[in-house]
Structure 1
Amino acid sequence: MSHIDILKEKREQKPETKYKKFGLKYNPFPKSGTANINESSETTEYLIPIDEEVLKGIVNYVGDSLYSSDNSDDHKLIGTITGDYGTGKTQLLLFAKSLILNEPKKAYVIYINNPGTKLSQLIGSIIENIGQEQFKKYLWNQIIETIKSSNEYKNKLLSYLSHTGLFANKDPFAPENEANHRLFLEAFLGQINDRKKIKELNETLRDIIIEILIKKNEDDSVIAKYFYDLISEDFGISKSWEALITGDGNYLDNKVVKLLNAIITIVKEQGFERFYLLVDEFEDITSGRLTKKEQDNYTHNLRTLIDNERRWCLLIAMTSTALDDIATLSPPLFDRLTDRKINIKRLSNEQARELISNYLNLASINSVEGLGPFEETGIDYINSITGELPRLFLRHVYYALERAVEELDEGDKISLEFIKKHIES
């Protein structure tokens, strides 16, 4: 069959019937073998860890952190997921996220797939994950509530509105203007026709906002300016959102503790009871991307962050080798990162078969028994040639199912011989 015919055949296959011969609605195995960070929470929930010790470890971490005492602000619990490349650390992080979000206690969960090379970049990633508009909304809620509770601030702003004319002024502090900050700003700007006055109002508002942010952040003008820059475009000053969320500027590196503290405060003011940070690919800090001085700064600042901020829970994933490197590089940091340690081992043949069954039932038209169209010897063979690594194992299983759909008939089994024909050892 020519390449033109192969593509034509694939093009004409109907997705809804393509896998029906094997009792499936689609191929449930990930093409790349890696977890999809955009996967629906229902899918992530279904793919529970197949290792009982790993499942017990992650459930205990979630339960102990989520349901610790509410009588204090000491919610801190640090956990580290380790394992070789391809053992499913990302999948386990996402499973933890789904567990937390499906509990009744209101928790804010942020997943970051790369911590960056500076802690200020990590903080920028947190703000980016919350979202530009959402975080600005949180900041504006804080600012407007403070202005409303201060007659001094209110009178300064109201002085720019004219008290003459046929119609009474619209009250910018009326309930209908509390829905969002744009209505609040428009309630002022819509009543001023003088450009000079508008400029003066903006300057006064800027001064008030910075003063509020300084007071809210322990008199730290650097943090106040950082947050001011996030919202300043709302009244005529254009700032680069990308520059802000990437932690651009060395002046922020020594402010990460206060920045995280401020972010957690802002989020908790929205009614959240817990704040979780899930960080993937943490081995980057030991992978040679940083100089010795940068590594020392990163580990020292992270240690300081962990020691000084207690209103968060941190769950990170890294290779076992990277964790060993951190133990050598900074024993105090290693000690802090392993309040809980969850190690993912390579797949046994029995676990590989269970993994197949779980994935097949995601896509089954009716419940699939056992290995469905796969033969046990074929699955054991794939697990063997992929070094018992889930990522490579799932990638090869996806490929085997695609070839089987094209070449086998309904009722045929995906045998060891068929797999050896298509997958090289």
Structure 2
Amino acid sequence: MNTFQQSLIGKLNENPEDRYAKLGLKFNPFPAAAIAQFTHLDPVDSDIFEKIGYFITNTYKKNVNDGNIGDYAGLTIVGSYGSGKTHLMKYIERQINDISINKSVDFSSLTAFIDRPEEKPLNIITKIIEDLQPDNLRRMIWYCIYPYLISNKDSFFETYFKTSLFTDTDKEELFRPEILGNPLVFYEKVKRLRGNINKLFEDCQNILTHSNHDFQITNDISIAQRYLGLIFPEKAPNHNWEVLTGYVTTKDVQNKEFLFLKSLVKILQKNGYGMLYVFIDEFENFATLKGAKLTNYINTLSTMINKERNWAVITSITQDALQAIKPESPQLFDRLVSVEIKLNSLNMETGKRMIDNYLNFAKKSSEVETPNVFSELLLTEMIRKTEGNARGLIKLCNKVIEKAADSKNFQIPIQSEILADINF
């Protein structure tokens, strides 16, 4: 066994808690890549809590209780590269998802997170569908259809079957919850009983496109046909999600995608969901775009934000990218800055608060105080060295803790001299 293998085996056998115990930690809580990993960690600025709370409360209650949605249903997070925009978006998404499953409050919402949407609105639509999951979406579409389809069970058999030689047992079998609740199983059952499948398709399409108890999913037949293609195998040989939105042409790209997203929200509402929160992360390269690509980005944001209030959009963007929008679309710019969170560079107070959040997550016991890992001078130097950039500070904290863990002789709290041995 050579020296490298001996060293590697030693590291593999090392217990993380033993490695970081001298620091009062169970592990190194600072991700080496400074990615948005621990999304439960609270923001360091107390003002952010108020804006998040206002945004979620206002968008949800207005969408549920007020049919005339007039207010802007969006939140824009503005900050430089590495300022924590993605982490904050993930934090908000987690809060919404956690509250949605809390039985003590009426808050039924869904979230979709789109990372790097590029310049096409179609990419956003496709990723929303993927986040909702195929089987889940099929079930929700079917729930919008079958209550009207079988409102009168006796007339259902008269409508779709030539023979009247069905016993009560046959009828009960078709309408068993496990069959009725699954569109594919229900379809196969009707087909085996020699039902009129074409008539079934036609009526299902009419249910989606006609107003039923003042609730219409869509008035666009092509969108309704795409939905039927998802739940009935004979309606569409290809069930890829691209097929659902693939009919969109260059001429009507914004209009069709807007109509599709609007119909999708109607389906969610029909299934009891009060709001769809769409997170659009990393419009980072926007400021460098020119010509057609810039126009497409403007169209993407306008499709999501400027045309409809029945869904809420959380967008992250740099200040330069935000300013690039202003001359291209003043109306869109005004909407983006109407509800805005600005992530400033960390100072000594907010930087320490962020570091303490991470340290508390990794401390050996919840009953002990925050481990005093970094000296005040070291913390000051790290904030200065990283210019208050959250991502840079997290990466540097990771390196400092690893360096200290590797060292046999160091003080607690760690002193600023350790920075001399760290390449950053």
C-alpha distance in 2, partners of 1:317/1:226?
A: 31
Q: 1:213 to 1:386 in 2, by over 3 A?
A: same
8 Å CA contact 1:283, 1:322 repeated in 2:
yes
Counterpart of 1:39 in structure 2 is none
8 Å CA contact 1:29, 1:395 repeated in 2:
yes
TM-score (structure 1 length as normaliser) = 0.84
C-alpha distance in 1, partners of 2:409/2:159?
A: 77
Alignment-mate amino acid for residue 154 of structure 1: F
After superposition, residues 303-382 of structure 1 pair within 5 angstroms as 303=302, 306-367=305-366, 369=369, 372-382=372-382
Deviating more after overlay: 84-93 vs 11-20: 11-20
Give CA-to-partner distance per residue, 1:208-232, whole Å, 9 cap, x none: 3333333344431221233233334
Deviating more after overlay: 405-414 vs 316-325: 405-414
After superposition, residues 80-99 of structure 1 pair within 5 angstroms as 80-99=76-95
1:358 positional shift: 1.0
Q: 1:342 to 1:161 in 2, by over 3 A?
A: farther
C-alpha distance in 2, partners of 1:318/1:305?
A: 15
Counterpart of 1:275 in structure 2 is 276
C-alpha distance in 2, partners of 1:424/1:255?
A: 52
Alignment-mate amino acid for residue 380 of structure 1: T
Alignment-mate amino acid for residue 400 of structure 1: V
Alignment-mate amino acid for residue 207 of structure 1: E
C-alpha distance in 2, partners of 1:160/1:114?
A: 53
Q: 1:301 to 1:415 in 2, by over 3 A?
A: closer
Structure 2 gaps, min length 5: 100-104, 211-215
Counterpart of 2:32 in structure 1 is 31
Q: Is 2:18 aligned against 1:7?
A: no
Corresponding pairs, count: 407
Deviating more after overlay: 122-131 vs 97-106: 97-106
8 Å CA contact 2:52, 2:92 repeated in 1:
yes
After superposition, residues 125-274 of structure 1 pair within 5 angstroms as 125-149=127-151, 154-155=156-157, 158-159=160-161, 163=165, 168=170, 171-189=173-191, 191-192=192-193, 197=194, 201-215=196-210, 216-233=216-233, 235=234, 237-244=236-243, 249-250=248-249, 253=253, 254-274=255-275
8 Å CA contact 1:352, 1:383 repeated in 2:
yes
1:380 positional shift: 2.2
Counterpart of 2:74 in structure 1 is 78
C-alpha distance in 2, partners of 1:161/1:397?
A: 76
1:410 positional shift: 8.8
Q: 1:240 to 1:387 in 2, by over 3 A?
A: farther
Counterpart of 1:40 in structure 2 is none
1:82 positional shift: 0.3
Give CA-to-partner distance per residue, 1:289-309, whole Å, 9 cap, x none: xx5235335524643654442
8 Å CA contact 1:210, 1:228 repeated in 2:
yes
C-alpha distance in 2, partners of 1:108/1:333?
A: 25
Q: 1:64 to 1:167 in 2, by over 3 A?
A: closer
C-alpha distance in 2, partners of 1:5/1:378?
A: 34
TM-score (structure 2 length as normaliser) = 0.84
Structure 1 gaps, min length 5: 37-42
Q: Is 2:414 aligned against 1:418?
A: no
Q: 1:255 to 1:151 in 2, by over 3 A?
A: farther
Q: 1:132 to 1:354 in 2, by over 3 A?
A: same
1:129 positional shift: 0.9
1:176 positional shift: 4.7
RMSD: 3.2
1:143 positional shift: 2.0
1:362 positional shift: 0.5
8 Å CA contact 2:363, 2:370 repeated in 1:
no
Q: 1:154 to 1:410 in 2, by over 3 A?
A: farther
Q: 1:355 to 1:298 in 2, by over 3 A?
A: closer
Alignment-mate amino acid for residue 321 of structure 1: D
8 Å CA contact 1:110, 1:278 repeated in 2:
yes
